[in-house]
Amino acid sequence: MKINVYRWHETPADIRQKILKRSETDIGGVKDIVAPIVEDVRKHGDEALAKYAKKFDGADISAHQIKATEEEFAEAGKRLDGKLKDAIRFCADNVRRFHQAQKDREERRWLIEVMPGVWAGEQISPLPSVGLYVPRGKGAFPSVMYMLCMPAIVAQVPQVVVVTPPTPEGRVDDASLFTAQVCGIKNVYKAGGAQAIAALAYGTQTVPKVSKVLGPGNSFVAAARRMLADVINPGMPAGPSEAIIFADDSAHVENTARDLLNEAEHGPDSASLLVTHSEKLAAAIEAILPNIINELPEKRREFCAKGFSTYGGIIITRSLEESIAFCNEYAVEHLQLKVNAPENVIPKLHHVGEILVGEYTPISMGNFGIGVNAVLPTGGHARTYSATSIWDYVKRTSLAMNTRKGFDALKGPIVTVSDYEGFPAHSSAITKRETEGLKEPPVDAILAAE
């Protein structure tokens, strides 16, 4: 079994570029496949969704069976093991608490007095609608369901729509459907891939058109989101899984090897890297990793084997600082930090979706139940995007007001700038304004308004 090992300072530029780009290279290559699917859904709606459910998911459903029914929700709960249901409730509640804390840290409406009589601030409102993409294909992911649904509910989005690929039996996966119910979501539709994104963008006879789409997906989903960016807010780029285990000599060898498999087992397009300046650790991981991969079931074993020979592997740097620089350049989705004195490293990691600190915080903990959101930017987009949070489900509106005192203090400088830029109507709205006896805005009442 081949495990890629790179000494970063000796790695040729073209290989470096391939490692940094990972499966993003695949997204451009599928656009020609995605374009006709998107157009078909735009024209034919539910009929196209049913056709692609049969073609891609092996699900023989009609155009009238796209939406999960109340009976299907009830049956899913009955079929599901009680222990799993309890675990889903437990983890989902942690996610709810975390996102509620995010919301509570910011007032719904705030103002500061930037100078006497001049007030500026924001009003925060939920988005009118969101579409949440919960993938399937390589497995069922109820954890993605609660990661996406809980912040939508906490943010009080009026219309929340879930799309997820159907099983071959024409159902939504039982655990995913049960989880949607736990989160309070009723609108779940059996559609996956590029066709699901098109349905959310254009709307169909059954699937409502929404304002924004959120959730991870494969290269076809990612390509559809990019192609439809003028029709729908495509949300944070969340493609194939990726992880860095950033470690030094203090890391536990076997734990580290197992941690490397967390994201690698998601699929053949996943990227999992050990980044270390420890030659000793790198050699130990290279030696034991094949045996640990061979412990996995066949499908996951194949995914990991391919990943470590393509997008993944071991990056050996010359120093801790070079490892930090690599991580910031790579801008990974998940980073597990296993070094001495992590408090000195964390402030230097600027471009990472999430940082999980220490041997007791494997990526799997973050993926399922710590509370932080596991839907994170991929493909290097952690340079400019943040982890999914309550703020992905709301928008900010600027809010400003002046008293008479504030107006008088501002008018001179404002007119000066307006005149310089050649806007006489701007200036006259101030210089010719009647100001005597006008009502001033009730700042306290506005802040207190529900």
Dump pLDDT digits (tens) for 292-312.
Answer: 999 999 999 999 999 999 999
pLDDT given at position 219: 84
pLDDT band at 346 (very low <50, low <70, confident <90, very high): very high
Q: What is the pLDDT of residue 127?
A: 97
The DSSP string of 54-116 is HHHH-----GGG-BPPHHHHHHHHHHS-HHHHHHHHHHHHHHHHHHHHHHHTS-SEEEEEEET
> Active-site residue 279, yes or no?
no
Q: What is the mean pLDDT of residues 130-138?
A: 89
Residues 6+ apart with CB under 8 A from 8: 16, 315, 316, 317, 318, 322, 326
Task: List the single range of 77-86, 296-305, 440-449 with lowest mean pLDDT.
Answer: 440-449
| pLDDT above 60: residue 372 | yes
> Do residues 19 and 211 make contact, with C-beta atoms less than 8 angstroms apart?
no
Give the Å distances, CA to CA, from 433 to 5, 167, 429, 438: 71, 66, 6, 11
Whether 209 has a pLDDT exceeding 80, the answer reads yes
Tokens of 397: 């509106």
The answer to whether residue 389 scores a pLDDT higher than 90 is: yes
Instruction: Identify the active-site residue in 266, 334, 351, 381.
Output: 334
- 445 burial (CB, 10 Å; 0-12 / 13-18 / 19+) is exposed
**pLDDT band for position 24 (50/70/90)?**
low
Catalytic residue selected from 24, 286, 333, 354 = 333
The overall average pLDDT reported for the chain is: 94
Euclidean distance between CA atoms 327 and 335, whole angstroms? 9
**Strand 118-126, strand 109-115: pairing:** antiparallel
User: Which residue, 331, 312, 320, is CA-closest to 251?
Assistant: 320
Question: For residue 138, what pLDDT is reported?
Answer: 64
- Reported pTM: 0.89
| Per-residue pLDDT band at 25 (split at 50, 70, 90) | low
User: In a 3-state reduction of DSSP, which class is residue 195?
Assistant: helix
* Amino acid occupying residue 297: P
| pLDDT score, position 253 | 97
pLDDT of residue 26: 61
Is residue 334 annotated as a catalytic residue, yes or no? yes
Range 400-423 average pLDDT: 95
d(CA 143, CA 178): 11
Query: Would you call 291 exposed, middle or buried from its count of C-beta atoms within 10 A (0-12, 13-18, 19+)?
Result: exposed
